[in-house]
Amino acid sequence: MNGIAFFQNVLPPKLQPLIDALTVRMIMTPKEHFVYYEDYPPEKLENCEYDVLPCRDLKRYYDTKTGKIRLILAENVISADTRLFDLIDLFNEEHTVYFVKEGKSIVGLVHYSDLKKHPVRVLFYLMVAELESNLRKVLETYYGTKLDDAIKKQIKPEKLSKIEGYLGEDRKKNENLRYIDYLYLEDLRDILLKDMGLWSLVKSHSRFSSKNKFESNINPLIDLRNWVAHPVKEELPRKEPIYLVLAKMKDRVMRLNSALYNVLQAMKEN
């Protein structure tokens, strides 16, 4: 709960209802689509593709790992109103699937593979968008009117050339844009880390004791950003189950957002 509350402190209040609205109900398999134990061909049970097969009484289930019928206990059940933000941390090796309850009735199943679904990407889009917004605010507050000059000095020449091309075209359309409007997450990261004064400020107001630690937290989020921005992209690059990957990503976003929030507060106070 402390992590969630901490995250809420660095999320604009206007976005909190969106986080709360993204619930298990949006990604679960509804009861109407259950494959029941009684209907599954007995000769195929040994190689069943499901982790569990609910029994028709919805009081028991067939555990395909052990080959046994088990009772549905409280530890196997979550509410349909459970936030996706919280669900991510509930999966582990022992709990790869949960029965979903609404009132007193079981209304669905949610498996960790459901974390690949679009509502989960929306959740992470909100978190990563807040991270990019905070990075931008830090740069704007730190550099002030010298921000464009700082960007020109610290990004690669080929990137700068592309930005100036886009900027020229967009300004012809009377669009009031700046260099920072064309930067990606990795560009914002690089500018922050290249400026020793700015990095010292971040280091002194966060738990990141080195640039390597900061980078190890933010770099995986670049792949995450691409994943949430492209709904047809199937997988995140990973060697672990999706629930472990997303739990780590969530922790990274929270750590970074809280660090940047602290830096912004420090700059405002000075």
CATH architecture of 21-113: Roll (3.10)
Q: Between the CA of residue 226 and those of 40, 52, 125, 244, what are the distances in Å?
A: 39, 32, 10, 18
10: left (phi over 0), alpha (psi -120 to 50) or beta: alpha
Task: Give me the residues paired with residue 1 across strands.
Answer: none
Give the pTM: 0.88
Tokens of 83: 């936030």
Please classify residue 95 by burial: count the beta carbons closer than 10 Å to its beta carbon, then call 0-12 exposed, 13-18 middle and 19+ buried: middle
pLDDT at residue number 5: 38
Backbone angles phi, psi at 110, to 5 degrees: -130, 125
Angle between helices 242-269 and 196-204 (to 10 degrees): 100
Return per-residue pLDDT of the chain as tens, 270 residues: 333 334 444 566 778 899 999 999 999 999 999 999 999 999 999 899 999 999 999 999 999 999 999 999 999 999 999 999 999 999 999 999 999 999 999 999 999 999 999 999 999 999 999 999 999 999 999 999 999 999 999 988 999 999 999 988 888 887 778 999 999 999 999 999 999 999 999 999 888 999 999 999 999 998 888 888 877 766 776 788 999 999 999 999 999 998 999 999 899 887
Tokens of 186: 């990795």
Tokens of 78: 């979550």
Q: Between the CA of residue 33 and those of 27, 29, 72, 91, 192, what are the distances in Å?
A: 13, 6, 18, 22, 49
Going from N- to C-terminal start, the domains of the chain cover 21-113, 118-269
